[in-house]
Structure 1
Amino acid sequence: MEQDLVAFARDLLHGPETTVGTATSGGTESILMAVLAARDASPRGSVAAARPSMVLPSTAHAAFRKAAHYFGVRPVVVDVDPVTYRAKPGAMARAIDDTTILVVASAPSYAHGVIDPVPAIAAAAATRGVRCHVDACIGGMILPFLDGVRPWDFAVEGVTSVSVDLHKYGYAPKGISLLLHRTPALRRGHYFATADWPGYTMLNTTAQSTKSGGPVAAAWAVARVLGHEGYAALARSARQACLDITRGVGGIPGIDVVATPDSTLLALSSTRSGDVYLLADELADRGWFVQPQLPYAASPATLHLSLSAATAPLVPEFLSALAEAADTVSSGPQLTVGPGIAGVLAALDPASLTDAMLDGLLAASGVSAPTDGSGLALPRRMAPINALLECARIPLREALLLAVLDRLNRPAAASDQESCLFGR
């Protein structure tokens, strides 16, 4: 079943007969394995093996930063065009050096929904003898079925690997993704084997040893039912929903589409600072989930929309809710972080963050935490917390998020009998 899916994806992505692939648990694992395979292919004793780096646009998925953190690969982050939000091939090419093991492009980028200029980026990588990975986790099952799409897949010379998720626009249950390589030799680095212990010989294709066959079987069944015609119809429907919302947003005061979408993802910004967070809460109150994205480099704070075929018949309803939410937000007070809290955030050392400090910051955002240091519950309306995070510099944002994640994942106090599932 896994190899049936690989063959299906190979043909969709114009892979040569030598193309091979591996099923993973999701896009993040596919990206992790692509980086690992590139890192471990560096010749021993080379500069790249000693100090590996990868060149990526600032809009590349966060999973590449995760891979860099896990595998000791230095991320060389290159600014994108501040208008189109696409990677700049010239700047990417100049960033490649003797330590570069991988160059990354997105098809499309998650944050803005645009396709990077893959041919120029892949050519720059190939000229230096470096691999080029295209992250098509969210576009790989949409773009092959759309007309007029800029080149991005294995049809582009120099593209050595592509990741594509089947649990997104492949409409399979979570979590199933495919990592495809142009040749078996390119894939070898993320395989693992060891016989250097007294137990069973360990032999793995991905990071996981134990892998459920359920997601693979489910994806196989969905692909068998839908086939090319089914996927094409779903892709066209999702794309039309994206275009319709793009046009509709043009008639709503105070809201803009940040970048012209190439696929089915949209990023919306607000004229007034902080309003996107209030809009997210207002839309949630009306039954619509949208994802706030904090500002980064030239990109403002945005609302992210991932549109599927299920969205198409609901576009008028969504636009009505968005217009209503925008009117509510614009007629209300502007969301701000007080100067006292802003001063604390400016002075706070991320490494010194304690539970007590976190509780104080959360209290300033309207979140009360248990006094015993146990878990906490996030509020229904998240705008004040998002505004606080926006005010913090990136290292502090990350420290705050990790601290909150830790607090959200603590068991109830031993004395809390009602919260204990099993009793005593």
Structure 2
Amino acid sequence: MSRATQFAGPEAAEILAELSTLRERDAPTHGGRVLSYVYDSGLAELDALARDAAELTRPLNALDPTTFPSVAVMERELIGFMRKALNGPATKLGGGPVVGSVTSGGTESCLLAVKTARDLWRAEHPELAAKLARAGKRPRLVTPATVHAAFQKAARLFDLEWDPVVCEPDGSVRVSGFEQKLGADVALVVVSAPAYPNGAIDPIAEVAGIAKEFGLSCHVDACFGGLALPWWPGLAPWDFRVPGVTSISADLHKFGYAPKGVSVLLHRGRRRHRAQFFATTSWPGYPVVNPTLLGSKPASPLAAAWAITKRLGNEGYAELTASCVRSAETIVREASLIRGLSVWGAPSGPSIALVADESLPEAERVDPHHLADELATLGFRIQHQPGFTQPGGVRLPHTAHLTITPVTEGTLPELVDALRAAADAVRGKPQANPRLELLGLRALGYAPKRDGGTFRVPSPDAAWRILRLAGAGGDGGKASSLPGRLAPLMALAERLPAPVAEAILSELLARVSEP
């Protein structure tokens, strides 16, 4: 009797058939109809190459490149490709050679950039670190308010004070805002290339120059744009050409077109890179040396990214980026012609955000969240972004985000028509107003009264009851049933105190996968 016949579960074919059925409910990952989360090159050849490279390396454990030397070769060559793309020196000129590591994704790259800077800051300022600790204070992480949320996570994990620079209503950030915040207690300054919410590139050269004058580390978060901006025309230097930039993160699983999850974190100089490592011989097992947060990790994403960069090369990425440029220019132009709708800020890359044109009367405006909901009924998915009130009261508007990829060009006529039709369908419809939900939450003490006051964070069960009010669990109360339209939920989230909104949204995600 073969070993397989002893298994109690269904046959392999049945399992795969079940998985295929589950996948039918997923948003399409190819074809350009989902303008967030997925990065489709439009080249079936690259998908096949990534699949085959991943399968060849599937059994490997990238924890130990001395046991699996192919891992070291692929990482070395991938870092070399990225160093060249980001204009990093390979010699000691300009502060040292640019070196780095491959990580599991943008969040890990960002976390490691913060952890590295914090450790170097502690080593260089032991007396100030002790003084802050005695006063119950922490070193600061200074970023624009539009920086990716991964840096808030990093601040919490690594015991830093996140100190955001207030942005203008269009999402841009002024250099003077950084100047006012920099000081000896700053462990790291971060700027974005571009900022995900609005697609704008921060004033990197100016901020990095000021950070260098203060002797501070300056990280460029290019997780989103790091494999598109090197070939985007008309941009001022934003990478390692800029003096004062000490590290850059860039995701290969975005515009590198590799499968999730693979990113790189590059540092200017070996000392900075080595500060990223965790190493210990203080236990009776094998010596542990981890360049990243993970120990055991798959080699398949690394192999796929390595294979794709070798296949595309500089010319291939330039060609794919040129397609994104054409699409972005078209969408900016066409969206600006839709009455009641505007492009938020000044995008300089493959990220565009749409906002209601507040120069018009309310009856003529197009609410971006209603637009996104309506667009979904026409076969295109764009991303809801809630409004955000910054410290000091300057408000950033609620918007809808579009990620532009090479396949967007093939759907442009249909996408533009759908944008026009969706705008016509919702023009004049005011932003969702969760008035009844807010009244109930105020009565229960989960939201402040209109004249202010305290609030409490809901328990998991209470958060689920609130979500039911917002339309979740509509399919017989099943947790896996999400609201059909997200505009009301987004409106509720942005009107609640952040701890309450975060508890509610955490509960939504938790319930989706709860047995």
TM-score > 0.5 by shorter chain: yes
Identify unmatched segments of 5+ residues in structure 1.
412-424
Name the structure 2 match of 1:67: 154
Shift of 1:381: 2.3
1:55-81, Cα deviation, whole Å (9 max, x unpaired) = 111011110001011111111111123
1:153-174, Cα deviation, whole Å (9 max, x unpaired) = 0000000000011111111111
> Bigger shift: 354-363 or 231-240?
354-363
* Cα distance change of structure 1 residues 118 and 200 upon mapping to structure 2, 3 Å threshold: same
Question: Counterparts of 2:250 and 2:308 in 1: how far apart (Å)?
Answer: 15
Find out whether 1:26 has 2:112 as its counterpart. Answer: no
Assess if the C-alpha contact under 8 Å between 1:48 and 1:98 holds in 2: no
Name the structure 1 match of 2:50: none
Name the structure 2 match of 1:79: 166
Assess if the C-alpha contact under 8 Å between 2:189 and 2:216 holds in 1: yes
Name the structure 1 match of 2:469: 364
Question: Counterparts of 2:431 and 2:116 in 1: how far apart (Å)?
Answer: 45
Name the structure 1 match of 2:407: 310
Shift of 1:86: 2.5
* Cα distance change of structure 1 residues 336 and 379 upon mapping to structure 2, 3 Å threshold: closer
Name the structure 2 match of 1:54: 141
Question: Counterparts of 1:81 and 1:388 in 2: how far apart (Å)?
Answer: 24
1:338-371, Cα deviation, whole Å (9 max, x unpaired) = 4332234454166541344324322322334799
Equivalence map 1:387-398=2 (5 Å): 387-398=491-502
Question: Counterparts of 1:337 and 1:11 in 2: how far apart (Å)?
Answer: 50
Assess if the C-alpha contact under 8 Å between 2:463 and 2:503 holds in 1: no
Assess if the C-alpha contact under 8 Å between 1:137 and 1:177 holds in 2: yes
Equivalence map 1:17-416=2 (5 Å): 17=90, 18-42=97-121, 43=123, 45-48=126-129, 50=133, 51-83=138-170, 85-271=171-357, 275-297=367-389, 298-330=395-427, 333-346=429-442, 347-348=445-446, 351-368=456-473, 375-411=479-515
Amino acid at match of 1:328: A
Question: Counterparts of 1:215 and 1:370 in 2: how far apart (Å)?
Answer: 37
Assess if the C-alpha contact under 8 Å between 2:366 and 2:426 holds in 1: no
Name the count of aligned residue pairs: 408
> Bigger shift: 271-280 or 283-292?
271-280
Residue aligned with 2:381, SS: coil
Amino acid at match of 2:168: D
Amino acid at match of 1:33: L
Assess if the C-alpha contact under 8 Å between 2:480 and 2:511 holds in 1: yes
Residue aligned with 1:164, SS: strand
Question: Counterparts of 1:307 and 1:263 in 2: how far apart (Å)?
Answer: 9
Amino acid at match of 1:397: A
Identify unmatched segments of 5+ residues in structure 2.
1-73, 91-96, 390-394, 448-454
1:221-251, Cα deviation, whole Å (9 max, x unpaired) = 1111111111001111101100100000122
**Aligned sequence identity (%):** 40
Question: Counterparts of 1:119 and 1:82 in 2: how far apart (Å)?
Answer: 22
Question: Counterparts of 1:339 and 1:285 in 2: how far apart (Å)?
Answer: 25
Residue aligned with 2:126, SS: coil
Residue aligned with 1:179, SS: strand
Assess if the C-alpha contact under 8 Å between 1:345 and 1:391 holds in 2: no
Question: Counterparts of 1:113 and 1:48 in 2: how far apart (Å)?
Answer: 36
Higher RCO (CA 8 Å, separation ≥ 6 residues): 2
Question: Counterparts of 2:189 and 2:129 in 1: how far apart (Å)?
Answer: 13
Amino acid at match of 1:253: R
Residue aligned with 1:16, SS: coil
* Cα distance change of structure 1 residues 368 and 377 upon mapping to structure 2, 3 Å threshold: closer
Shift of 1:48: 4.2
Question: Counterparts of 1:220 and 1:173 in 2: how far apart (Å)?
Answer: 11
Shift of 1:409: 2.8
Structure with higher Rg: it is 2
Shift of 1:12: 1.3
Question: Counterparts of 2:103 and 2:329 in 1: how far apart (Å)?
Answer: 32
Residue aligned with 2:191, SS: strand
Shift of 1:88: 1.5
Shift of 1:267: 0.5
Name the structure 1 match of 2:4: none
